[in-house]
Structure 1
Amino acid sequence: MTTAVFLAHTAAPSGAELATLRLLDALRATGRYRVTMIYTEDGPMVARMRARDIETLVVRGQFDSRAMRIGTGVLGLLTGFLALLRLGWNVGAAVKSAGADVVVAESTKALVLGAVAARRARVPLVWQVHDRVSPDYFGRIPAMAIRALARLACRGQLANSHATATTLPDLPTAIAYPGVELPVTQTDPRTRPAAEAVVVVVGRLSPWKGQDVFLHAVAALTVRPARVMLVGGTFFGEEPYRAQLEKLAAELGVPVEFTGHVDDPSEYLTTADILVHCSVLPEPFGQVVVEGMAAGCAVIAATPGGPAEIIDTGVHGLLVPGGDVGALTAALETLLDDPAARARLARAGRDRARDFDIHASARTVADFLDTMVTRGD
């Protein structure tokens, strides 16, 4: 049986980390791979991995996962990079002890770790990419540096969408969508009248996720829904953004429920009429879009990016240009005013969500890793 070791620089429960949890569980279930997860800090994801009996190690070093954020100065980036290189050497010892046949880096920072760790353990490195490596997200020079490092250090790449793959260096690449764990029982679409409807946005509170655009769109509605909910917390130094959203909601006169971080948003998704995804930058994939569809929500999602690979607009949901308040307001009006159309989109979306089952994603990853290991023999 092949052994794959996965690396992550943070144990905070954001979208990419939760997708990795699902993947490792499903990859192990194929019976083809033994999996080990290595984090460089303790945190909620360590306990979650271990709760599923996934071997999980913590290798600490002099690196703060909050360092090297988008917008960090040159000195901060260089200091963090050097700390990652040093930590990567220690991680390499753990990778070697785990008997790894291949190492998979689960973030850009983990890519730096993996470049050293895989070299020390003498195994191939694969980068599983959850973010578009583009100037609009990382900045021009950091994006160039990341692509150069991947080209030098990696044998292959796993991209979470075709949109992400277009931003990556020319290496062997497979598209492995972040699969979801489909509900055992189907949930019927909700068809409340507009004034009784529930509309949710699910995801980390972050400026690029566009929750402010959503609030402006709700404020412009002719008939506002009964409940408007922002489901998600703040990570990675973005805590002040929640206060900004609370102030904006008050100024606009839009009553909003802020839930904070929740471990499992399914209870909100299975009761909502409409899920809104409203990122203002192109979304690498948008796994919450699939989760909402699987839960019976009618979904509105922002383009360009991954959601356009999930939704055929007018069939499985509605697509709107990211950051366009008027278009989002119009889409909300359309779905709120016509519960029958809302239900039709929700049912088609629920069927479409089956195409993103985590077990299909795990088979794609297993097949690709097989080629990486074979090439290293």
Structure 2
Amino acid sequence: MTGACPADGLSEHGIAPGARLAEPGRSARPRVLFVSHTGTMSGAELVLRDAVRPWTDARAFLFEDGALGEALRGLGLETRVARRGAGLSGLRRDASPMRALPVLKRLAAIAVEIFGAARDCDVVYANSQKAFLLSALPARLAGRPLIWHLHDILDGAHFGRVQRAVQVRLANACAARVVVPSRAAADAFVRAGGRPSRITVVPNGLDLDLDPRPQTALRAELGLPAGPLVGVFSRLAPWKGQDVVIDALAALPDVRCIVVGAALFGEDAYAADLRARVAARGLAHRVLFLGQRADVPRLMQAVDAVVHPSVDPEPFGRTLVEAMLAGVPVIATDAGASAEILDDGAAGILVPPRRPDRLAAALADLFADPDAVVARTRLARARALSHYGAAAMQRDLATLILQVSGRP
């Protein structure tokens, strides 16, 4: 295999230029190195956990250990943790390059470790922006094709101009493929300067085990109140928009809300502001902060509606698919991939972002006539089953890995 980065994408057979072909008598199954910058389980890490299931003989390289490392080891992956990676997941992705200077030596040491791990594998699979930035040059030097699974919208709301420029230039030069979960994420990558030939859209897929018991039994077991109840399920971060839901609830005196999630990546000030906002509006008896939970499917089944209030474009929206599978009505802001997932509103209710008045009106209409959304909710569940299953995602990603590795 050569040490050069791929040219303008794959060949007509889907094989990265310079990729090593299977040798006679050698297994056609490539050795994959999955790289992640964090051990915390959030949306991208849940996708990785499900994506690696067909590759239990693969290897993983994590900047820091945690729940993700435990999950990957439990699936049989040989998992290595960087010697100096602890705490790097807290380095904000919108930080200026100058703020990253104090940790450059640590980042360089991790890149050297990735280079060593990459030499023992056939394909490097970077599962985040930080993982990609530190894997691009090591993969090139090791002569291994690189797949970047981009779980973000590359725009000014999420990344600085210099960051976007660095990312797309590295992707154009060194990525055999850039995997994105939606057309919205693909379009943002191209607008930022990324080459369309690099892009492969693979929607996130998941399966959900549902509890067969009625909602009343679930609420009693979970300690949730009776009456109209909505749920917000995501990590606590300003762009996730939990504050918009709190403002909307001020106009809905009979509606209660559970907020499920925690400030996973340094957004503690925002989490404190949410609680202060609830107290200032006299909503402490109606808004329950449940923190990070492992029983999200049951909590979703226990509420009357799931609200997805992101104020900036979402690259996907795992919460939407979970709610659709759970058979719960969905109200989402029309930003990023939400309209794509909800079939332009046929499978859910879309409202403008940053508009608590419009969100309150949509919730009021839903609770005034819950039967009116029954058909839409059934359609949503059927759409989730047909478009966003874990098996389809695993199959599509496995096909891509085989293609870039040059294996049959």
**TM-score where L is the length of structure 2:** 0.83
Question: Alignment partner of 2:58: what SS?
Answer: strand
Q: 1:366 to 1:165 in 2, by over 3 A?
A: same
Task: Give per-residue Cα distances to partners, 1:29-66, cap 9 Å, x unaligned.
Answer: xxxx8432210111121112222333322122256324
Distance 2:311 2:200 in 1: 26
Q: Deviations over 1:271-318 (max 9, x none)?
A: 111000000000110011000111111001112211111103553110
The one-letter amino acid paired with 2:207 is E
Q: 1:307-346 maps to which residues of 2 (within 5 A)?
A: 307-346=338-377
C-alpha contact 2:209 2:297 (8 A) present in aligned 1: no
Secondary structure of 1:166's match? helix
Cα deviation, 1:191-236, whole Å, max 9, x if unaligned, reads x9xx812200000000000000111111112x522x3100001111
User: Does 1:176 pair with 2:205?
Assistant: no
Counterpart residue identity of residue 252, structure 1 = R
Match of 2:301 in 1: 270
Query: Could you list the runs of 5+ residues in structure 1 that have no partner in the other structure?
Result: none
Of 181-190 and 243-252, more deviation after overlay is shown by: 181-190
Counterpart of 2:384 (choices 348, 353, 367) is: 353
8 Å CA contact 2:178, 2:200 repeated in 1 = yes
Match of 2:271 in 1: 242
Match of 1:15 in 2: 43
- Matches of 1:85 and 1:332, distance apart in 2: 50
Work out whether residues 308 and 320 of structure 2, in 8 Å CA contact, stay in contact via their aligned partners in 1. yes
CA distance 1:292–1:189, shift in 2 (3 Å): farther
Which one of the candidate residues 166, 173, 186 is aligned to 1:145? 166
Change (3 A) 1:187 1:127: farther
Q: Indicate if the aligned counterparts of 1:283 and 1:304 stay in contact, CA closer than 8 A.
A: yes
Change (3 A) 1:371 1:62: closer
Name 1:101's counterpart in structure 2: 122
Structure 1: how far apart are the matches of 2:46 and 2:112? 26
1:306 aligns with 2:332: no
> C-alpha separation between the residues in 2 aligned to 1:181 and 1:117?
34
Residue 395 of structure 2 aligns with which residue?
A: 363
User: In the alignment, is the contact (CA less than 8 A) between 1:40 and 1:58 conserved in 2?
Assistant: yes
Report the counterpart of residue 74 of structure 1 in structure 2: 97
Aligned residue in 2 for 1:158: 179
Report the CA distance between 1:186 and its aligned residue.
7.1
Q: Distance in 2 between matches of 1:118 and 1:155?
A: 11
How far the C-alpha of 1:334 sits from its partner, in A, is: 1.5
* Code of the aligned partner of 2:122: D
Q: Which residue of 2 aligns with 1:114?
A: 135
Q: 1:211 aligns with which of 232, 242, 245?
A: 242
How many Å separate the matches in 2 of 1:40 and 1:339?
47
With over 3 angstroms needed to count, the CA separation of the structure-2 counterparts of 1:244 and 1:87, relative to structure 1, is same
SS in 2 for 1:135: coil
Name the CA distance, whole Å, in 2 between partners of 1:187 and 1:342: 21
CA shift at 1:148, angstroms?
1.2
Which amino acid is the alignment partner of residue 402 of structure 2?
Answer: D
Over the matched positions of the two proteins, sequence identity in percent amounts to 34
**Preserved CA contact (<8 Å) 2:210 2:326:** no
Listed one character per residue, the Cα deviations across residues 170-200 of structure 1 (whole Å, up to 9, x for unaligned) are: 042211111111336778889x9xx812200
Question: What's the secondary structure of 1:361's corresponding residue?
Answer: helix
3-state SS of 1:137 partner: coil
Structure 2: segments with no counterpart, 5+ residues: 1-28, 220-225
Shift of 1:119: 2.6
SS of corresponding position for 1:87:
helix
Asked whether the 8 Å contact 1:67–1:80 carries over to 2, the reply is: no
User: Does structure 1 retain, via aligned residues, the 8 Å contact 2:94–2:158?
Assistant: no
Range with bigger deviation, 276-285 or 331-340: 331-340
Counterpart of 1:372 in structure 2 is: 404
Please state how far the C-alpha of 1:93 moved relative to its aligned partner: 1.1
Q: Tell me, in whole angstroms, the C-alpha distance in 1 between the residues paired with 2:175 and 2:391.
A: 25
Query: What is the aligned partner in structure 1 of residue 327 from structure 2?
Result: 296
Give the structure 2 partner of residue 5 of structure 1.
Answer: 33
Say which SS state the counterpart of residue 196 (structure 1) adopts: coil
CA distance in 1, matches of 2:156, 2:395: 32
The answer on whether the counterparts of 1:183 and 1:294 sit within 8 Å (CA) in structure 2 is no
Aligned residues of 1:84 and 1:109 also touching (Cα < 8 A): no
Distance 2:336 2:345 in 1: 17
Distance 2:267 2:309 in 1: 17
**TM-fit CA distance, 1:250:** 1.3
Whether contact under 8 Å (1:131, 1:284) holds in the other structure is yes
User: Does 71-80 or 142-151 show the bigger shift?
Assistant: 71-80
Per the normalisation by structure 1, the TM-score is: 0.90
